[in-house]
């Protein structure tokens, strides 16, 4: 990810319904959410959410697929990973303790449930 792409992503995330939508999709995992369920989770009407989803899709943060009559939205995890890498790329400057909290937070949230229970 370069600076131009990062600016596009931040512009897309700089609105409360869009940020809520991405967070809800990240929490939903790879199965994603149907548009109506996502609208309810975000707290907005489906027709209003449609505009926001278009912006998030244009920024590369979400993907959609048809499943019967529903449209299922999922987070674009590679794009989110790229954003994190872009932000953390020059971290530390010889002081790994600066990045340790972020690394630990990511490792903790990404631990499978059964592994976390045994940790």
Whether the CB-CB separation of 28 and 76 falls below 8 Å is answered with no
Residue 91's φ and ψ, nearest 5 degrees, are -65, 155
Domain boundaries, the chain: 3-76, 78-118
Q: Give the predicted TM-score (pTM) of the model.
A: 0.82
* SS3 category, 19: helix
Nearest to 98 by CA among 112, 113, 84, 88: 88
Q: Would you give the distance in Å from CA 21 to the centre of its chain?
A: 8
Cα angle 22, 53, 2 (rounded to 5 degrees) comes to 65
Q: Is the dihedral of CA 40, 44, 46, 50 positive or negative?
A: negative
Q: What is the CATH number of domain 3-76?
A: 1.10.10.10
Q: How confident is the model over 36-84, as pLDDT tens digits? A: 999 999 999 988 999 999 999 999 999 999 999 999 999 999 999 999 8
Q: How confident is the model over 86-102, as pLDDT tens digits? A: 988 877 787 778 888 88
């Amino acid at each position: 990810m370069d600076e131009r792409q990062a600016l596009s992503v931040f512009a897309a995330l700089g609105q409360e319904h869009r940020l809520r939508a991405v967070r809800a999709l990240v929490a939903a995992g790879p199965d994603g959410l149907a548009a109506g369920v996502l609208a309810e989770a975000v707290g907005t009407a489906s027709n209003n959410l449609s505009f926001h989803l278009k912006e998030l899709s244009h920024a590369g943060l979400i993907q959609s697929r048809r499943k019967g009559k529903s449209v299922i939205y999922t987070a674009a995890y590679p794009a989110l990973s790229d954003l994190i890498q872009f932000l953390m790329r020059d971290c530390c400057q010889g002081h790994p303790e600066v990045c340790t909290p972020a690394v630990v937070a990511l490792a903790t949230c990404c631990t499978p449930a059964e592994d976390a229970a045994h940790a």
